[in-house]
A and B are shown apart, each in its own frame.
Chain A
Amino acid sequence: MQSIVSSYHPCLAPPSPVLRQRLLCHRIPSIRLPSHRSTTSLGLFTCAAVSRESEMAAAAKEDGQDPRIPKIASSIRVIPDFPKPGIMFQDITTLLLDTEAFKDTIDIFVERYKGKGISVVAGVEARGFIFGPPIALAIGAKFVPMRKPKKLPGKVISEEYSLEYGTDKIEMHVGAVEPGERAIIIDDLIATGGTLAAAIRLLERVGVKIVECACVIELPELKGREKLGEAPLFILVTSDAA
């Protein structure tokens, strides 16, 4: 098993001594990765990361998997104890700083969804707003923002969902989508699946067919996939929750 330096952007200060990021296959035949457990130490940096990434990419290519995934995975920074102690926060802002990784991420989604008759890309506030529109533009679909309460100015429909303590709501504009349209829902990450499940319910209430939910990252230990009902889930990278 190779160990790789994970989630490091060369110009970032190291967040903390020990981080773990595991790259796993995510159960959809088209993109599978070998399992890797990695640790970082303060000294190891760019050169090591680059050569190990290209080894992984080469291995991935031989196996028929998408060689762009290792770079995407390693561009995601993990911040421990944010926003609260015990949570390993998956920070995609470092992915956005890596022009190649960001472009590859969008390209993978676009290649998957182009030409499939998808007319709606729904993105969940706020990080879904970053990934959704480039995909929508590339496949010629409309982009529908799904927002926290009271942000959308026009007439809305809402769907409630559970949090650890209490509930929250997401909203969508009435008339944004029409019955019979085919949609994908985008977010940066799926954890418990509460938000995505609410988004699915919102769209299905107005007669839209959810073709797939797509996220960059999954935290499989939180079993979010189970909340999605019939809707399939597509991810690029999986990671430990804590």
Chain B
Amino acid sequence: MFAVENGLQGDPRLQTISDAIRVIPHFPKTGIMFQDITTLLLDPVAFKHVVDIFVDRYKHMNISLVAGVEARGFIFGPPIALAIGAKFVPLRKPGKLPGRVISEDYELEYGNDRLEMSMEAVKTHERALVIDDLVATGGTLSASINLLERAGAEVVECACVVGLPKFKGECRLKGKPLYVLVEPSQDIRIESSLHLLRRQRGSDVILLRNLHSGPLRPLSLDQLRTVFPHLELTGSDTLSTGTDDAKVCSATVLEALAKVLSARAREQVANKRVQQQVEALIKENAVLKRAVAIQHERRTNSS
């Protein structure tokens, strides 16, 4: 369930939160649009909104335990726990927690991973909340629910800042409700696309695929500079080898380019409207001036 579906529709805080999240394309691998919450943490107002919304929701639910998944769950969990008077339980990668632990294996896209919790963390029949920054497949959260239930806790809800749209409505994870603040942000920043290209290929040349399926045509730095005059681009004009990541790069650049062009087009349309309004005002002003002048003439003539 998303916050907008549950009483927070129109709440401006949700837009602030969404705007503060940055998207990094193709991290950690091609095809993944990574939701980077570190930019949210740089905005104390937006970060506080996240915590406030969760605290408002959970403070009267009699929750005594907040479990956070390593590592980004460690950032959001403790402030909530402190505010609602609950204890904080870190759920960690294997081998990190000392003392006696219980483990839960869960599936990744390729292979398995494991989550651990201290055996002493839970007193039986505690009401627990699980926190993570983002829910995608739900695998990590499901493993967390299992750990807590095996230890005797009752998981009341799972809460995430970002969630894929498929989690709308009455969606449940292992029978537990899920509460999400915002959908994934679409805000791809051009700088991050270009940085990604540099990092992937080690040179600063971008290849644009000819739309009529001709050969790949290299675009030099100078040409790039005319397209993106507001960006500082440095590097040397060396060609890349290999067409596979060149294709990925082209796709990314085209996306970014499309965004820029449509934003500029919108700007131009807005500018044109303003121009028209100004012209209309000037005309009206001239008419008024003429009217005042005529009236003044009539007065001086009659007196």
Residue ranges of A at the interface with B (Cβ–Cβ < 8 Å) = 9, 11-13, 15, 77, 79, 82-83, 89, 91, 93-94, 96-99, 102-103, 106, 125-127, 129-134, 136-137, 140-145, 147, 150-155, 173, 176
Asked whether A133 lies within 8 Å of B87 as measured between CB atoms, the reply is: no
Asked whether A155 lies within 8 Å of B195 as measured between CB atoms, the reply is: yes
Asked whether A89 lies within 8 Å of B90 as measured between CB atoms, the reply is: no
Q: Could you say which of A15, A142, A153, A154 contacts B41, with CB atoms under 8 Å apart?
A: A142
Q: How many residues of B contact A (CB 8 A)?
A: 45
B271 within 8 A of A: no
Chain B residues touching A, majority SS = mixed
**Chain A contacts of B95 at CB under 8 A?**
83
Task: Using A133-B75, A134-B78 as known contacts, say yes or no to A154 and B42 having CB atoms under 8 A apart.
Answer: no
**Chain B contacts of A96 at CB under 8 A?**
78, 81, 87-90
**Chain B contacts of A134 at CB under 8 A?**
78-79, 82
Q: Annotate B27-58 by CB proximity to A: 1 below 8 A, 0 otherwise.
A: 11000001010100111100110010000000
Q: List 29 A-B contacts (CB under 8 A).
A: A12-B99, A91-B99, A93-B89, A93-B90, A93-B121, A94-B120, A99-B85, A125-B71, A126-B70, A126-B92, A129-B72, A129-B75, A130-B74, A130-B77, A131-B78, A132-B75, A133-B78, A134-B79, A136-B47, A137-B51, A137-B79, A142-B44, A144-B41, A145-B38, A145-B41, A151-B71, A153-B36, A155-B199, A176-B38
Q: Could you say which of A103, A147, A154 contacts B192, with CB atoms under 8 Å apart?
A: A154
**Chain A contacts of B28 at CB under 8 A?**
150, 153
B74 to chain A, nearest CB (A): 4
**Chain A contacts of B34 at CB under 8 A?**
153
Asked whether A99 lies within 8 Å of B99 as measured between CB atoms, the reply is: no
* A151 to B74 CA separation, bound complex (whole angstroms): 15
Asked whether A126 lies within 8 Å of B44 as measured between CB atoms, the reply is: no
Asked whether A142 lies within 8 Å of B43 as measured between CB atoms, the reply is: yes
**Chain B contacts of A142 at CB under 8 A?**
41-44, 47
B100 within 8 A of A: yes
Nearest 10 pairs between A and B by C-beta? A129-B74, A153-B24, A79-B98, A153-B27, A82-B98, A143-B41, A96-B88, A142-B42, A97-B87, A126-B71
B240 within 8 A of A: no
Q: Could you say which of B43, B98, B192, B195 contacts A91, with CB atoms under 8 Å apart?
A: B98
B225 within 8 A of A: no
* A81 to B78 CA separation, bound complex (whole angstroms): 28
